[in-house]
Structure 1
């Protein structure tokens, strides 16, 4: 208990499980036990059972995570386990987790999960593994650290003394010391062999003769005891054992169904009665719950039964298939669709397996079973897939669900080719619609609005009215296309419709996607508080740890917190967006997240870091042809150039990438306010016509600055009043702060005129906090002092330049001649080694002069 891990490792039948059970009987710490089997190699299934087991220690462990494990795309394993570690760390008392029969696990993701758990295991937890094989874990490292207790086969072999106690006292035999020593020698202390031998000897007249002939390897012993133990059971028990050996887990009603007893009238389940009789007879059956509802055979015994069953019938495959079919039917009737699917596969019933994949309201692959579904589809031949075009479509959908988009189109083409030889009916039309829906989803990741709309309309024209999962997904893709085209009203309508249906049918993924879409619409309407709450709802739906699609919610919250001037939260959400988005294949979400982070870093005074992030984002975007993101990247780069006073490079980018808002900023920076106003007027008209309230607000900010620069201060103040009215409900701050001292000057005048006093006071405080933040950073590009410092008067002139005042206005404010102002400008430019006003302001900020 003082170490992280205890391993009990030995071959089959060495009593590993019994040893741990007896040890825990006398253990004072709480214990939870998870018995593993072959079917648990599906990561989602393993994690589900693990969380259920741990909830016996603390009821709230894994809260909010178990539901996510049923989704089509599993969240990051490290995130899931990180959440688990946090929950386990809150448990107050020491406790033990037992993973029994770990050797059945051959999935590397599960090994990785256990490695992670061991690396971060809280001190109050102890893990016990029982296994036939050496686990694929860092055993040597744990051993070197002194964090491992090991119990091996040599430790578990019965000595003559222990064998005597077991055979004579537990099994009720009366063997001599010589007979026990011989039996112990023949079995090499293997408890399963001793137990099987003891069962055979209980009714054997010549015990001594039996022991004398009891020789051979484990396989010989097993073969021999099949005859001596299994065949000595009544015929009905033998039939029960052999036929139910196809099951990984057993319960009475399931056994009844497999054996065909379900049609008979019984007060209690005959299968349950047999299971209880087998348990009482110690016939290698292990209860899996305290209620004695579910059991499993000892793995070794189950192997023997299956081998014997196969060897006892002429056409094994044909004879065993009906048993699997009955099991599949029972599992389906009792809503265990994944188990039903596994038995349909075992029966090679492709039609049944295909139907089970399609599921009821939601296809099986959308409920956490994408891996087994995909594995089965990959095992089928072209002929078998061509015979059922729906399997090709499901194949494409499964690949899309796991992010393997490269092979999706090929599978869709195969489906279309197979459909050509089939007469069109309602089902084939639905498949045609499903193919189009998948292509629409592929186009979403590429932001191809026209393709999305064409394929979505084709899908809706062909999909059956009852195919709500695919129709709802298609309604969402239509909404996204409308959003790309700027028709936000149509997008909102589509999102609301898809959200309502997806919530009713339990389609979690589409519920998340439509919620994200509505959050984006609210954000575009400047309803930042509503948008933030909507994004938080999406995060709740995505669970903790989050599904990768939650990157959109984090990115939206990052933008909103930035606007609210909470830069720390903005950065946290931005980093979360980047981490989650990198789990996608062939999408531009990571680039979009990095573009936001670059903008944030520049505002935080890390221009070099911001540029490096942008360079990397641009390289990724161009390499993967993410053309949609190029203009976003360059818009932020323009912001950096403008802030650094690099007007020439600024102008080149604006011309190359047709950035109209940035073009207006160039006009302002070059002193051409009239041209800026002319351009902004046309842009504002378009934004108003299309209902783009967010765009309109930002254009109005530039319009106010342009009026001020053009000497039209009254018009500028009037526009600022309109901006304040529009921005107050959303709590906008950075909208104003990012424009610097010229905007601060306008807000000061607006406050004097009594415009929305509570909001202008809040903005005044925000500007002051920004000034303190910049000063506290102390991060300036130039660490060396100026060769010739600026005089007090030059600093005052520089401050007024930064606030956007013209030379004439500065002369009036300072009561000095215009030529004197120009002389101050020349000396300021010379000392700062610049040539323009914008460059002087940027350089002064680098030196911390502003």
Structure 2
């Protein structure tokens, strides 16, 4: 069989499937011992049905081949905004693709896995498995994987019962040469018939014969019933072991995996021979013990043997001891050796709730944040309210774990129960520090933050966010109308000021109460404080919080929240027009993350795209935007995807590609409505206004800007309408507003627009002064596009500032960029080769007759969206942006009268 496994290495998967006792694990182990590829072996148990735990263990196992892989995966799993599971698996696949030489990945006992998401993750892994990795699955039953597809593609080697069972010659070799029993041909044939080639049956029979030769007669009485044969013969084997070995086998059966010192700890003073020596002697005796590593340090028992030992343990154990005590000893050994997850499982099995609780709390890093979410939740759910009340911190852990599990509606109940339990015990909640109070506040802050970003938010929260975003009245209160102007990446999330205030209040409360050494929770609360203050527009407070978060993160040797703080600093520096420093922060975040597909990384790439755009490096801007899109898609980051779409549409507007810009923006608008991100509509509308003005639709631009309270867009539309007084009426109060808040990015944009409005209004001196102030701000950040995007209207003003001897070098650079830009702004020539379809000609004729889109749809019985789609294609073929241009060109070409 090893030859078949070796022959199948060119395929993706080797599936070794048979019921218990057919030597599946032994076969694969023997094959690996002679195979020239390194192997990663992961033995699974029922506790591994938690997907985060499964992926964590898999990553740690693969880390032995490539250091750093586990860190990448654990960072993703512990992220406040974990990406989809396929994304995490994709990261593992990318790392595996970089292995220096081919490896074999073995998943043993896969039959214990029944979680659908794990099957999906493995199916995704198989679909994208790099050629450097061969997967082996050892299982008692066929796994829930796309085997039919793999068979059709010749991508799987399958070994089953008929392949694994011993034939006659193998049975002879095993009985007479491996076990040295010297049985007759008749006896061997009888054994073969009774066991039906079942390897464990032969093994058990051989051990029984070896120690009690007459038992061959008893064996003949069985009719191949594996369970009866197993029970009878194994008991025969056990009864012939020394009392100390029996005790060793029975006591250590509570362990899924074991080493010598762990066995010693479980038996306490029960044996005089060290555990390592006992294990080696058991291995030499073929007593159903399986090595798990090449060093002979870790072992497990055969599953059939384990089941029997555990059933007999209850009858064997002395009155002075108990199975719970054995689990308790194992738990303490694991704890002493740094295996908190295993320590927790044995503490739960021992009923040692005190120890389990300490392990769940994790001295600042709760256990559920380290891949043990499902076991922790299951244990907490098993406790009574009375047991939870006795330790209020467990209520908080319960709420925090539910937050990680995506069950926000159950969280507040748990947090209130914690407060009630503290009050009932007379615990002072106002004393500081008080880590329970701090944990409650941090969990509440995180819950509000998740609601803001749209993750797991309830229908009520989504509705509230949408209503807040759409409060676009015509009143004079400018404070609540700036949704579209706060600097990305977080501006678009600011849909509910009450939720933002709650994040800030609870984060501040948490920081106030948490002990200084509870670093993980303090880090989370501090970052949340920074994020919420940035959303609210309090940039100084946000910067202070991000700096503190980064300090804490460095004490913890950095993690994903530290990277988020760095990216937050980048966005604040960008908003402060300090583009060179912002670029450094974004790049630092990307470097530290290793391009992990998490929201913060996609946002960093988008930030770089905006910066390169302002520096007039359009190729680099597009490249970074595309990278941001790819990572946003992998991370399922809806907000970042919208930001990328809007940015790409902005590039199309610059190129006067109105048709493509409209198409992108229409898609973006549909997407935000579908995803419930209605607070992003003003940002989309801002670029639509630019497109409308560029095409000459100033009336539509005014209406759209007014609807979304886009002050700069509205003033630009008024200027395009030659209504300079109205443009200044809009601009001047808005300029005062952003000056008061020190929002330098909005100051720069508004001062440039203000200068243009003053110039058009005839106030030339004020205009030059305003532009000169703007240029001082712009030069420090290396801005180019923000000036030349204003087009021909800005050139005279630049010349006048230059004529006064100010900013000469910078203005020359801007004018040179403008000259290069003019070449890019011409309309493409129309060729007759791009003929319209009959339907498009029909629609163009109706357009020439003055029909609206809706009227065309009614006339031709077409949906409005279909008419708009035809319009886009007509405009694209004619390389125009307006109906009047399309009609003029079509008439010139003779396509319409």
Gaps of 5+ in 1: 786-832, 834-838
1:195 aligns with 2:203: yes
Counterpart of 2:293?
Answer: 289
Please state how far the C-alpha of 1:258 moved relative to its aligned partner. Answer: 1.8
Counterpart of 1:801?
Answer: none
Counterpart of 1:434?
Answer: 439
Cα distance in 1 for partners of 2:587, 2:824 equals 28
- Is the 8 Å Cα contact of residues 341 and 356 (structure 1) preserved in structure 2? yes
TM-score (norm 1): 0.83
Q: Deviations over 1:237-276 (max 9, x none)?
A: 22221121121211222222222249x9x9xx92222222
- Is the 8 Å Cα contact of residues 597 and 632 (structure 2) preserved in structure 1? no
- Structure 1 pair 276–779 and aligned structure 2 pair: CA distance change class (3 A): farther
> Which stretch has the larger CA shift, 670-679 or 525-534?
670-679
1:120 aligns with 2:128: yes
- Once the two structures are superposed, the pairs formed by residues 24-43 of structure 1 within 5 Å of their partners are 24-43=32-51
1:129 aligns with 2:137: yes
Cα distance in 2 for partners of 1:110, 1:90 equals 24
- Is the 8 Å Cα contact of residues 246 and 306 (structure 1) preserved in structure 2? yes
Please state how far the C-alpha of 1:526 moved relative to its aligned partner. Answer: 0.9
- Once the two structures are superposed, the pairs formed by residues 15-26 of structure 1 within 5 Å of their partners are 15-26=23-34
- Is the 8 Å Cα contact of residues 646 and 684 (structure 2) preserved in structure 1? yes
- Is the 8 Å Cα contact of residues 43 and 107 (structure 2) preserved in structure 1? yes
> Which stretch has the larger CA shift, 441-450 or 282-291?
441-450
- Structure 1 pair 561–529 and aligned structure 2 pair: CA distance change class (3 A): same
- Structure 1 pair 778–167 and aligned structure 2 pair: CA distance change class (3 A): farther
Counterpart of 1:320?
Answer: 323
1:65 aligns with 2:72: yes
1:639 aligns with 2:690: yes
- Structure 1 pair 62–783 and aligned structure 2 pair: CA distance change class (3 A): same
- Structure 1 pair 147–580 and aligned structure 2 pair: CA distance change class (3 A): closer
Counterpart of 2:537?
Answer: 486
- Structure 1 pair 421–783 and aligned structure 2 pair: CA distance change class (3 A): farther
- Is the 8 Å Cα contact of residues 344 and 360 (structure 2) preserved in structure 1? yes
Counterpart of 2:274?
Answer: 270
Counterpart of 2:164?
Answer: 156
Give 2:341's match in structure 1, choosing from 333, 338, 342. Answer: 338
Gaps of 5+ in 2: 1-7, 453-493, 837-874, 876-880, 893-897
Counterpart of 1:808?
Answer: none
Please state how far the C-alpha of 1:553 moved relative to its aligned partner. Answer: 2.7
Q: Deviations over 1:406-458 (max 9, x none)?
A: 43334333434444423123699543333233222333343434323333343
Counterpart of 2:701?
Answer: 650
Cα distance in 2 for partners of 1:765, 1:92 equals 50
Give 2:252's match in structure 1, choosing from 244, 260, 267. Answer: 244
Give 2:184's match in structure 1, choosing from 176, 180, 193. Answer: 176
Partner SS for 1:397: helix
- Once the two structures are superposed, the pairs formed by residues 564-583 of structure 1 within 5 Å of their partners are 564=615, 565=618, 566-576=620-630, 578-579=632-633, 582=636
Q: Deviations over 1:149-206 (max 9, x none)?
A: 2211011111122101110000001111110000011111011111111111112142
Cα distance in 2 for partners of 1:783, 1:746 equals 41
Please state how far the C-alpha of 1:574 moved relative to its aligned partner. Answer: 4.1
- Is the 8 Å Cα contact of residues 292 and 298 (structure 2) preserved in structure 1? yes
Q: Deviations over 1:384-419 (max 9, x none)?
A: 444443222222212323444343334333434444
> Which stretch has the larger CA shift, 340-349 or 474-483?
474-483
Counterpart of 2:861?
Answer: none
1:185 aligns with 2:193: yes
Please state how far the C-alpha of 1:741 moved relative to its aligned partner. Answer: 2.5
- Structure 1 pair 127–580 and aligned structure 2 pair: CA distance change class (3 A): closer
Counterpart of 2:117?
Answer: 109
Give 1:473's match in structure 2, choosing from 511, 524, 527. Answer: 524
Please state how far the C-alpha of 1:280 moved relative to its aligned partner. Answer: 2.1
Cα distance in 2 for partners of 1:179, 1:554 equals 74
- Structure 1 pair 620–410 and aligned structure 2 pair: CA distance change class (3 A): farther
Counterpart of 1:305?
Answer: 309
- Is the 8 Å Cα contact of residues 98 and 127 (structure 1) preserved in structure 2? yes
Cα distance in 1 for partners of 2:295, 2:196 equals 36
1:232 aligns with 2:240: yes
1:166 aligns with 2:163: no
Aligned residues: 788
Please state how far the C-alpha of 1:620 moved relative to its aligned partner. Answer: 6.6
Cα distance in 1 for partners of 2:245, 2:141 equals 32
- Is the 8 Å Cα contact of residues 547 and 565 (structure 2) preserved in structure 1? yes
- Is the 8 Å Cα contact of residues 460 and 474 (structure 1) preserved in structure 2? yes
Cα distance in 1 for partners of 2:560, 2:262 equals 33
Cα distance in 1 for partners of 2:514, 2:42 equals 44
Counterpart of 1:668?
Answer: 719
- Is the 8 Å Cα contact of residues 72 and 365 (structure 1) preserved in structure 2? no
- Structure 1 pair 555–346 and aligned structure 2 pair: CA distance change class (3 A): farther
Please state how far the C-alpha of 1:296 moved relative to its aligned partner. Answer: 1.8
- Once the two structures are superposed, the pairs formed by residues 246-261 of structure 1 within 5 Å of their partners are 246-261=254-269
Cα distance in 2 for partners of 1:450, 1:842 equals 50
Q: CA RMSD in A?
A: 3.8
- Once the two structures are superposed, the pairs formed by residues 815-826 of structure 1 within 5 Å of their partners are none
- Is the 8 Å Cα contact of residues 16 and 139 (structure 2) preserved in structure 1? yes
1:694 aligns with 2:745: yes
- Is the 8 Å Cα contact of residues 44 and 69 (structure 1) preserved in structure 2? no
Q: Deviations over 1:5-36 (max 9, x none)?
A: 22221111111222233334444445444333
- Once the two structures are superposed, the pairs formed by residues 82-97 of structure 1 within 5 Å of their partners are 82-91=90-99, 94-97=102-105
Counterpart of 2:227?
Answer: 219
Q: Deviations over 1:745-768 (max 9, x none)?
A: 544666677755554454445445
Counterpart of 2:399?
Answer: 396
Counterpart of 2:154?
Answer: 146
Partner SS for 1:129: strand
Cα distance in 2 for partners of 1:61, 1:442 equals 31
- Structure 1 pair 578–5 and aligned structure 2 pair: CA distance change class (3 A): closer
- Is the 8 Å Cα contact of residues 605 and 625 (structure 2) preserved in structure 1? no
Cα distance in 2 for partners of 1:682, 1:488 equals 21
Q: Deviations over 1:290-341 (max 9, x none)?
A: 222222222222222222224546999x922222222222222222111111
Partner SS for 1:65: helix
- Is the 8 Å Cα contact of residues 606 and 625 (structure 2) preserved in structure 1? no
Partner SS for 2:322: helix
- Structure 1 pair 311–604 and aligned structure 2 pair: CA distance change class (3 A): farther
Cα distance in 2 for partners of 1:725, 1:622 equals 40
- Is the 8 Å Cα contact of residues 4 and 147 (structure 1) preserved in structure 2? yes
- Once the two structures are superposed, the pairs formed by residues 760-775 of structure 1 within 5 Å of their partners are 760=811, 762-764=813-815, 766-767=817-818, 770-771=821-822, 773=824
Cα distance in 1 for partners of 2:130, 2:810 equals 49
> Which stretch has the larger CA shift, 557-566 or 343-352?
557-566
Cα distance in 1 for partners of 2:351, 2:540 equals 50
Cα distance in 1 for partners of 2:406, 2:654 equals 35
- Structure 1 pair 401–126 and aligned structure 2 pair: CA distance change class (3 A): closer
Counterpart of 2:792?
Answer: 741
- Structure 1 pair 473–287 and aligned structure 2 pair: CA distance change class (3 A): same
Cα distance in 1 for partners of 2:133, 2:830 equals 46
- Is the 8 Å Cα contact of residues 433 and 460 (structure 1) preserved in structure 2? yes
- Structure 1 pair 146–538 and aligned structure 2 pair: CA distance change class (3 A): same
- Is the 8 Å Cα contact of residues 535 and 554 (structure 1) preserved in structure 2? yes
Partner SS for 1:202: helix
Counterpart of 2:556?
Answer: 505
> Which stretch has the larger CA shift, 94-103 or 230-239?
94-103
Cα distance in 2 for partners of 1:484, 1:48 equals 33
Give 1:350's match in structure 2, choosing from 345, 348, 353. Answer: 353
